[in-house]
Amino acid sequence: MRYIVSIDGSSVSQQAVNEAVVYAQEMGAELEIVHSVQRRAEASNGERVLEAHDSAEERGRKVLSRGKRWVGDCVEVETTLLWGDPGEEVSAYANDTGADVVFVGHRGLAEKHEELVGSVAKSLIGNTEMPVMVVGGRE
């Protein structure tokens, strides 16, 4: 068995990692933490520019390192940095790599807010071929 946990560095991501670790230990599953990073728009000399690729990558790697620390020595874990919209990229990655379950934290934001920004959890549920375990609630 192979489990993927999609994280963004938040406390509900940590809850998802903790839950995935419990299941991985019980089932003897492999565990992989993924994070999808997008380059942010930044202000520079009064203009909006995309952050440097290296800077975005460093930010993403820090999130993955935090996720790996959350696992500790409980189970072996791999990490993968993806690029682009988290809902789309994690769904595609999970489908392409044959994950058995995807774990994701959900902040429980107001429905109106989710309509504007979307929800990674909703995207995963609608676009993956395997079960998605949504963990958490309001942050």
For the segment 5-23, what is each residue's pLDDT rounded down to a tens digit? Answer: 999 999 999 999 999 999 9
Whether pLDDT at 137 is above 90:
no
d(CA 16, CA 5): 7
Structural domain range at position 97: 2-135
Q: In what order do the strands lie in the sheet with 30-37?
A: 77-83, 30-37, 2-6, 101-105, 132-135
- pTM given for the model: 0.86
CATH number at residue 77: 3.40.50.620
What pLDDT is stored for residue 109 in this prediction?
A: 52
The tally of domains found in the chain comes to 1
Q: Where are the beta strands (DSSP E) in 25-130?
A: 30-37, 41-44, 47-50, 77-83, 101-105
